[in-house]
Amino acid sequence: MTAYRIALLPGDGIGPECMRATRTVLDQLVAGLPGLELSFTSHQAGAELYRQTGETIPADVLRDCLDADAVLLSAIGLPDVRQPDGTEVQPMMMVGLRRALGVHSAVRPVKLYPGAPCALRDAGPGIDFVVVRENLEGLFASFGGGSRVGEEVATDTMVITRQGTSRVTDFAFRLARRRNGRPLDGQRRVTCVDKANVFRSLAFFRQVFFDVAGQYPDVPSDAVYVDAMSLYMVQRPWDFDVLVMENQFGDILSDLGAGLVGGLGLGPSAEIGDEHALFQPSHGTAPQIAGKNLANPLATILSASMMLDWLGDKHRDAVCLEAAMIIENAVAQVIRQGDCLTPDLGGKAGTSDVAQAVADQLKLASAT
Ligand X SMILES: NC(=O)c1ccc[n+]([C@@H]2O[C@H](COP(=O)([O-])OP(=O)(O)OC[C@H]3O[C@@H](n4cnc5c(N)ncnc54)[C@H](O)[C@@H]3O)[C@@H](O)[C@H]2O)c1
The DSSP secondary structure of 44-77, one letter per residue, reads --SHHHHHHHS-SS-HHHHHHHHHSSEEEEEE--
Contact with ligand X (CB under 6 A) among 107, 224, 264, 365: 264
Backbone φ and ψ for 108, nearest 5 degrees, come out as -125, 100
- Contact window for ligand X (CB under 6 A) among 142-150, 185-193, 289-297, 328-336: 289-297
The DSSP secondary structure of 268-280, one letter per residue, reads EEEEEESS-EEEE
Q: Does 288 bind ligand X (CB under 6 A)?
A: yes
Q: 213 or 264, CB closer to ligand X?
A: 264
Number of chain residues interacting with ligand X (CB under 6 A): 23
CA nearest 342: which of 360, 354, 333, 330?
354
Contacting residues for 151 by C-beta, under 8 A, at least 6 apart: none
Task: Indicate the length of the chain as a whole number.
Answer: 368
Report how far residue 272's alpha carbon sits from residue 47's, in angstroms, rounded to the nearest whole number. Answer: 24
What is the nearest approach in angstroms of ligand X to the Cβ of residue 157? 22
Report how far residue 347's alpha carbon sits from residue 113's, in angstroms, rounded to the nearest whole number. Answer: 16
Q: 126 or 287, CB closer to ligand X?
A: 287
Geometric angle at alpha carbon 84, from 82 and 85, rounded to 5°: 95
Supply the DSSP symbol for 140.
G
Q: 286 or 308, CB closer to ligand X?
A: 286
Contact with ligand X (CB under 6 A) among 9, 57, 78, 224: 78
What is the nearest approach in angstroms of ligand X to the Cβ of residue 332? 17
Contact with ligand X (CB under 6 A) among 284, 308, 310, 312: 284
Point out the residue whose Cβ comes nearest to ligand X: 284
Q: Does 131 bind ligand X (CB under 6 A)?
A: no
Binding residues among 307-366 for ligand X as defined by CB under 6 A: 344
Q: Does 90 bind ligand X (CB under 6 A)?
A: yes
165 three-state secondary structure: helix
Q: Does 88 bind ligand X (CB under 6 A)?
A: yes
Q: Does 304 bind ligand X (CB under 6 A)?
A: no
Residue numbers at the binding site for ligand X (CB under 6 A): 14, 75-79, 88, 90, 94, 264-265, 280, 283-289, 295-296, 299, 344
